């Protein structure tokens, strides 16, 4: 619980010698003790990154029992490169992605970043909640970093919000998988795509755009705008002063008109589709 190392695998000595190190403590971050305490008190895995010379290491703090934490240390590749654009898509498409106000980050199950559009680059450079740490996606909250790694291993869409500094709107994050991480063993290819976008304060504008594009009723458009602000049906229903059953009825009709069947897919369509372009470029 105090962060003291009580047991080290025998084969780690060889790995340490190859890195020119003597003790496993040389790989632990200065905040090691804090991560151990947070891991135990929250009963959640913590994922952080550290560097030693040119090498980057991921440290996964996993709670076990009786105040004991297992720390899995993995040396990450030191060669960071963007996607080969010729193999992925046409240059014109990449330029189009740079015009979107939504941040797009492509990474793999180890959180290694392969591609970011301009919006994502600005986010990773200026924001404190998400960072590009030596080519790896990292969060201010180690718990969220660990959650992103778990999501990258999953085969489902995930939508959640990240609280930012005072005075700044929440950052909404939609994560979806491109391919199974199992098929990526030993290949180091991108497997996951992340869409990051802020909450807009112009609720009326959202209603107008989605109502016009998808021929929604006023009530349906209001619900969509609330889901864009807070992607939880019960929260959206409470904000609109309607019952959960009424919200579900509206949502079913919205699904039919927009040809989607999940809230995550609905938000994805708004964030990356025509609605996003209109909301972010047409005043």
Domains of the chain, residue spans: 12-76, 85-198, 203-281
Q: How confident is the model at residue 85 (pLDDT cuts 50, 70, 90)?
A: very low
Question: If you average pLDDT over every residue of the chain, what do you get?
Answer: 81
For range 170-179, the mean pLDDT: 81
Nearby residues of 236 by Cβ (< 8 Å), 6 or more positions away: 223, 226, 227, 229, 230, 247
Provide the pLDDT for residue 91: 67
Choose between 7 and 277: higher pLDDT: 7
Q: Kindly provide the residue ranges of all beta strands, DSSP E only, lying in the chain, ordered along the sequence.
A: 46-52, 55-63, 69-76, 103-107, 113-116, 130-133, 136-139, 158-162, 171-177, 192-198
Provide the pLDDT for residue 237: 94
The rounded distance, in Å, linking the Cα atoms of 130 and 140 is: 6
Backbone angles phi, psi at 218, to 5 degrees: -55, -40
The rounded distance, in Å, linking the Cα atoms of 97 and 181 is: 25
Taking only the tens place, the pLDDT of each residue in 56-76 is: 888 888 888 888 899 988 877
Instruction: Classify domain 203-281 by CATH architecture.
Output: Orthogonal Bundle (1.10)
Q: How confident is the model at residue 272 (pLDDT cuts 50, 70, 90)?
A: low
pLDDT surpasses 60 at 80 = no
pLDDT surpasses 80 at 114 = yes
pLDDT surpasses 50 at 92 = yes
The rounded distance, in Å, linking the Cα atoms of 156 and 11 is: 36
3.30.450.20, 3.30.70.2740, 2.40.50.140, 3.30.460.20: which CATH number matches 85-198?
A: 3.30.450.20
pTM: 0.59
Contact between residue 223 and residue 254 where contact means Cβ atoms under 8 Å apart: yes
pLDDT surpasses 80 at 54 = no
Q: How confident is the model at residue 243 (pLDDT cuts 50, 70, 90)?
A: very high
Highest mean pLDDT among 161-165, 226-230, 245-249: 245-249
Percent of the chain with pLDDT over 90: 19
């Amino acid at each position: 619980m105090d962060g003291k190392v009580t047991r080290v695998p025998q084969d780690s000595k060889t790995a340490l010698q190859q890195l020119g190190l003597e003790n496993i403590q040389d790989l632990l971050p200065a905040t090691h003790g804090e991560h151990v305490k947070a891991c135990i008190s929250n009963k959640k895995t913590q994922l952080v990154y550290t560097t030693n010379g040119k090498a980057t290491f991921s440290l996964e703090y996993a709670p076990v029992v009786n105040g004991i934490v297992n720390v899995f240390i993995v040396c990450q590749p030191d060669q960071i490169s963007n996607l080969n654009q010729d193999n992925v898509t046409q240059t014109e498409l990449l330029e189009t992605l740079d015009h979107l106000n939504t941040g797009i980050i492509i990474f793999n199950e180890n959180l290694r970043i392969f591609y970011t559009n301009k919006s994502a680059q600005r986010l990773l450079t200026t924001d404190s909640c998400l960072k590009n740490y030596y080519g790896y996606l990292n969060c201010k909250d180690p718990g969220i970093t660990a959650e992103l790694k778990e999501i990258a291993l999953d085969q489902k869409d995930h939508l959640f919000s990240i609280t930012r500094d005072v005075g700044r709107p929440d950052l909404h994050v939609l994560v979806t998988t491109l391919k199974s991480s199992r098929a990526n063993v030993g290949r180091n290819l991108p497997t996951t795509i992340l869409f990051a976008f802020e909450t807009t304060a112009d609720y009326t504008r959202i209603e107008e755009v989605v109502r016009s594009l998808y021929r929604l009723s006023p009530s349906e458009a209001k619900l969509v705008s609330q889901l864009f602000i807070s992607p939880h049906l019960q929260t959206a229903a409470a904000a609109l002063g309607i019952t959960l059953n009424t919200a579900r009825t509206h949502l079913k009709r919205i699904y039919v008109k927009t040809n989607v069947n999940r809230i995550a897919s609905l938000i994805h369509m708004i964030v990356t589709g025509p609605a996003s372009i209109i909301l972010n470029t047409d005043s």
